[in-house]
Structure 1
Amino acid sequence: MSEFVICYDIADPRRLARVFRHLKKHAMPLQYSVFLFSGDERQLNRIMDELARLIDDGEDDLRAYPLPARGFKARLGKATLPEGIQWSNLPPAW
């Protein structure tokens, strides 16, 4: 199981909503247009292929970056989840 940051910049509000809804089914939203996906490369490729059919290659930008397995992770500022709920893959506030 690996972790990937998936982020996007979508020009059209309709496509933006479709991409957001689709990604929310598979990954954890961290910020606007930034998601954390946990899975293997085969699963990531399947999701990216599905998302590629939802975007316009000429106007939109969709990217995925692998995170190192033992890399440092920290969070500052507002929590992604409500107070008292901790998702095990996200670090507590620093």
Structure 2
Amino acid sequence: MSDYLIAYDITSPRRLQKMHRYLQKLAISIEYSVFYLNLDERQLPKLLAEAEALIDKTHDDLRCYPLPQRGLKTRLGRATFPTGIQYTGLPAQWMGET
């Protein structure tokens, strides 16, 4: 499993909503257009292909950055999740485990 940061800049409000809804099912929203994702490297091509189908490559920009395993990951400010809620991974259905 690897950590990724996905960010996008989409010009159409309709495509923007579609991308946001798509990534909300798979990743943790850090900001409106920035998501944290933890998945197996073999699943990344599927995610990127599905995301690519949602954008207009002549006007939109989507980037996926791998995060180093031992890199410093610090969060300042309010928590992403309420107290007591922890991230445990992608839904089993998306992972192909159902």
Q: Distance in 1 between matches of 2:84 and 2:39?
A: 25
Partner residue in 2 for 1:46: 46
Secondary structure in 2 matching 1:3:
strand
Q: 1:26 to 1:65 in 2, by over 3 A?
A: same
Q: Distance in 2 between matches of 1:19 and 1:87?
A: 21
Partner residue in 1 for 2:69: 69
Return the letter of the residue paired with 2:28: M
Write out per-residue CA displacement over residues 30-89 of structure 1, whole angstroms, 9 at most, x where no aligned residue: 112111111122211111100100000011100000011111111011222223434368
Return the letter of the residue paired with 2:3: E
Partner residue in 2 for 1:35: 35
TM-score by length of 2: 0.82
- Unaligned segments of structure 1, at least 5 residues: 90-94
- Unaligned segments of structure 2, at least 5 residues: 90-98
TM-score by length of 1: 0.85
Instruction: List, as ranges, runs of 4+ consecutive aligned residues in structure 1 with deviation greater than 4 Å.
Output: none
| Superposition CA RMSD, Å | 1.6
Percent sequence identity over matched residues?
A: 53
Partner residue in 1 for 2:10: 10
